[in-house]
Amino acid sequence: MVSELSPRSWPLAVAVVGAFLVLPVRALAQDAEAEPLTAFDLLARSPQLGGTDIPRDLPGRATVGAPRRPRMPDATVPMPDLGRQSPLPAPELLRMESPVPSPSSELLAPASAEAAASVSEVPMGLPAPLTPQGRPDSPLSPLPASTTALLDASRSFQVVPVAVAVVPGLLFHGLAPALAGDGHTAKRLFAMEGAGLGLIALGGVPIALTGASRRTIAPLYAVTLAGFSVFGISALANLYSVASPAFDPGVPASSLPPLEFEMGYQYVSDTSFDYDHFVSLGAVARFEEVKLEAIARLAPDEGNTQVRLGGAYRLLGEPERRRAGSDGSSLDAELFGLFHRFPTEGFTVVGGDMGFRGRYAMSRVSPSLAGSFAEASIGMALQGYSYPGPVSDGNLHSQLLFSFGYGVWLGRGGGPFKGEAMLFYDHRKDGFAGGLRTLGGGVVGNFGLRGRALLTETWGVAAEFQAGGALVGRLSLIYALGGES
């Protein structure tokens, strides 16, 4: 339907969609506090658009209030006739009514009579967040068959929306889910795209008008980059929303090991430097709210050495040691020190970074984005350059730190396999990748893809690729201590 709009109608359409979202009315079936559906909601959910008002409560999805427990069908209450929109296929319902405990009915059984009473308030047919092993307070579990069936019933992989998500979906970010019949996600992504473009204009236009004035550049730059991050995240969410029905969404690991060591190899292709081969070392120690990190990159033949030490303090969200069913959203304050020696070029960098890093479960934006997350960071670095010999530089150089990315959780909640992968943009220019060497000089940072996964309780791999002014590739082996979850 959206595609039938003429090109000149797009700004109006975006504005209208944005207006619908100014006063966000969450769907009745998805909110703890029930509110009437808007006309747009009803239209977007209509079967004619392929939509459905069946909530898609997936593991990792944000919930409001106390977690809702699965409801046992009450034989005394007549089941509403949901027709073909029924969230639970008939065989599932039959199994739930069976007096013989089956694996699935065991999973759905309430823990107590009180729990049964409390969950009875949940509207009939709601697939409330599933709890593993029937324990309401346990971490999220892999998707049981009933939920898989539910997902299959409400979402199906379609080739055309995936293609549209690339062209012209990279420009029209809600188009792909709209074509797939997911109006809820579509309007959210259109709103995000509009917000991103708005922020870009809000920061970018004054930058142009002020000639990137030294007096105002820092906040304007931050706003502009925030706009690009929202725009980029909505573009990738657009693709993810229509590609994700092809696979089971991942969930955040319920806990990460208290101690990890990493060793690997890094290759850098940079025409401005002689170095290329690096030994990569790393360590992570996770406490309750505090995470300490140490990273070293050593070029044995050329002597280039980079050491980064620091940590993060969790301001919001569950600690990584015990995420216990949270959707992985978090906010950290970070502080790092940097030492980077360039023996061939004859200088050393010493400095510090400070900033904030946030991660947001995209299931909070739309259930169809479950299994993915957006990440952004902002901060500042202060650095000094030291030159051996008579050369002296007494300047303290500052740098705006900004990054954003769109990632997916790789694990499904069961077994030791846990991890994540993320496409990202990093604005910093003092790393091995540097910034892109563009027609505008060196303003733009670098892009990359990084992944990290524990394959067993103790062993895992990490890989990263970055493309800026240089190409950087890294592959590491991870050894975890205390990784049992």
Partner 1 sequence: MSRIGAMGVLSALLMTGCLRPAENRAVRDSKVGRAEGGGLSLEVADGLAAVRSVGSGEVTLWGNAPVFTARATLDAESTSDWVLTVRNAMPDAELLAELEDGEVLAVEPVPQALPTVKAWRVGLRPGAVARLRVAPPGWDSTAPFRFAALADVQEALPRVGDIYARLVKDDSLRFILFAGDLTENGTREQLLEFQERLEAGSRIPLYATLGNHETFSKDAEEYTTLVGRGSQSFVFQGVRFTVVDSSNGTLDPIVEEQLDGWLASSRQGTHVVAMHVPPQDPVGLRGGGFANRGESAGLVGKLAREGVDLTLYGHIHSYYSFTNAGIPAFISGGGGAIPETFDGVGRHYLAVDIGANEGLREASLVRVD
Residue 13: CB minimum distance to partner 1, A: 33
Residue 226: CB minimum distance to partner 1, A: 15
Residue 98: CB minimum distance to partner 1, A: 52
344 bridge partner residues: none
Q: Decide: is 345 part of the binding site for partner 1 (CB under 8 A).
A: yes
Q: How far apart are CA 126 and CA 110, in angstroms?
A: 15
Residue 266: CB minimum distance to partner 1, A: 15
Please name the amino acid found at residue 26: R
Q: Decide: is 209 part of the binding site for partner 1 (CB under 8 A).
A: yes
Q: Decide: is 156 part of the binding site for partner 1 (CB under 8 A).
A: no
Q: State the binding string over 296-335 for partner 1 (x if CB under 8 A, else -).
A: ----------------------------------------
Q: Decide: is 276 part of the binding site for partner 1 (CB under 8 A).
A: no
Which of 91, 454, 100, 9 has its CA nearest to residue 252? 454
- What is the helix (H) or strand (E) element at residue 338, kind and residue range? strand 330-342
Q: Decide: is 201 part of the binding site for partner 1 (CB under 8 A).
A: no
Residue 125: CB minimum distance to partner 1, A: 47
Both structure tokens of 100: 């013989």
Show the 3-state SS of 347-406.
Answer: EEEEEEEEEEEEEEEHHHCCHHHCCEEEEEEEEEEEEEEECCCCCCCCCEEEEEEEEEEE
- What is the helix (H) or strand (E) element at residue 297, kind and residue range? strand 290-298
Residue whose CB is less far from partner 1, 67 or 442: 442
Residue 371: CB minimum distance to partner 1, A: 29
Residue whose CB is less far from partner 1, 171 or 443: 443
Residue 428: CB minimum distance to partner 1, A: 9
Q: Decide: is 45 part of the binding site for partner 1 (CB under 8 A).
A: no
Residues 409 and 328 sit within 8 Å (Cβ to Cβ): yes
- Tell me which of 321, 429, 450, 452 binds partner 1, using CB under 8 A: 429
Q: Decide: is 439 part of the binding site for partner 1 (CB under 8 A).
A: yes
471 bridge partner residues: 269, 467
Residue whose CB is less far from partner 1, 101 or 441: 441
- What is the helix (H) or strand (E) element at residue 466, kind and residue range? strand 459-467
Q: Decide: is 346 part of the binding site for partner 1 (CB under 8 A).
A: yes
- Tell me which of 205, 213, 246, 300 binds partner 1, using CB under 8 A: 213
Q: Decide: is 434 part of the binding site for partner 1 (CB under 8 A).
A: yes
Q: Decide: is 415 part of the binding site for partner 1 (CB under 8 A).
A: no
Which of 308, 307, 326, 306 has its CA nearest to residue 318? 326
- Tell me which of 91, 123, 337, 442 binds partner 1, using CB under 8 A: 442
In this structure, is the dihedral angle defined by the CA atoms of residues 240, 242, 248 and 252, taken in order, positive or negative?
Answer: positive
Q: Decide: is 436 part of the binding site for partner 1 (CB under 8 A).
A: yes
Residue 444: CB minimum distance to partner 1, A: 8
Crossing angle (nearest 10°) for helices 183-209 and 10-22? 110
Residue whose CB is less far from partner 1, 65 or 211: 211
Both structure tokens of 113: 């009579």
Contact partners, residue 439, CB within 8 Å, separation at least 6: none
Q: How far apart are CA 149 and CA 104, in angstroms?
A: 12
441 bridge partner residues: 438
| Piece of the chain touching partner 1 by CB under 8 A; list 127-135, 283-291, 337-345, 418-426 | 337-345
Considering only residues 356 to 385 of the shown chain, the ones binding partner 1 according to CB under 8 A are: 380, 383, 385
Residue 299: CB minimum distance to partner 1, A: 13
Question: Which residue is associated with the tokens 């910093």?
Answer: 428
DSSP 159-206: HHHHHHHHTTTTTSTTHHHHHTT-HHHHHHHHHHHHHHHHHHHHHHHH
Q: Decide: is 277 part of the binding site for partner 1 (CB under 8 A).
A: no
Residue 398: CB minimum distance to partner 1, A: 4
- Tell me which of 163, 313, 393, 481 binds partner 1, using CB under 8 A: 393
- Tell me which of 19, 117, 218, 315 binds partner 1, using CB under 8 A: 218
Q: Identify the three-state secondary structure at position 295.
A: strand
Which positions touch partner 1 (CB under 8 A)?
A: 208-218, 221, 269-273, 340, 342, 345-347, 349, 380, 383, 385, 387, 389-395, 397-400, 427, 429-430, 434-444, 467-471
